[in-house]
Amino acid sequence: MRWIPKLTGSTGGGVAALLIAMAVMLSGCGINTIPTKEETAKAAWSEVQNQYQRRADLIPNLVNTVKGYATQEREVLTQVTEARAKATQVQVNANQLTDPDALRRFEEAQGQISGALGRLLAVSEMYPDLKSNQNFLSLQSQLEGTENRITVARRDYIVAVQDYNTEVRTFPGRLWAGVYGAKPMATFTTTDQNQRPPTVQF
C-alpha cells in the first residue's frame, strides 16, 4: 500500500499564504493596469463625443438665427446643415477605438462641420444687424466655449490613449496585453490646421 503524505495544518496554511503572496505580486506587476488605462481612455473618448454633440446641438439655432437676417446665404446655410447631418451619422463607440479608419471617418465628418461653421461665421460679418443680435451673440459665445471644450477633450483623449498604448506595447504590459487580447487604440491624426476651431468674432 502506497503511503500518501497528509497536509498538516501548517502546510495548508503555507499553501494559502503562498497563494495570497502570488496574488499580491500579480496585482503589483500590472495585471490591473491595462484595464484601468483602457477605461480611462474610453471615458476620455466619451467626453470628446459629448462636446461634439454639444456643438451639433447648437447648430440648428445658429442656422435659424442667421437665416432670419441673411436668407440669401442659402448655400452656406445648407452646407452647415448638411455637414451636421452627416457628422451626427458617423459615430464611434468605445469598442471601435482600436480601428483607425473609424476614427478617421469621425474626424473627417467633424472637420466638415468646422469648415462649414467657419464659412457661416464669416458670412455673418457682412450683416451688422445680425452681429448685434443678442441671440446670435449668445450662440457665438456658446460655440466658442464648446470649441474650447472640444480642444481640451481631444487633448485629454490623446494623452489617455498614449498612456494606454505605451502600456500595451512595452514590458511587462505587453505580456498582459496578450492575456487580455488588448490592442493599441487609435488617436486623432488631423493636421494642426484642421484641429483649429473656427474663428468666433464678436
Confidence class of residue 31 from pLDDT cuts 50, 70 and 90?
Answer: confident
pLDDT in tens, 69-98: 998 999 999 999 999 999 999 999 999 999
Q: CA 158 to CA 53: how far, in whole Å?
A: 19
Greater confidence (20 vs 133) lies with 133
CA distance linking residue 119 with residue 73, whole number of Å: 10
Question: What global pTM score does this model have?
Answer: 0.80
Name the more confident of 26 and 42.
42
Query: 167-170: which pairs have CB atoms within 8 A and are 24 or more residues apart?
Result: 167/30, 167/33, 167/34, 167/37, 168/34
Domains along the chain?
47-151+191-195 (1.20.1440.20)
10 pLDDT tier (thresholds 50, 70, 90): low
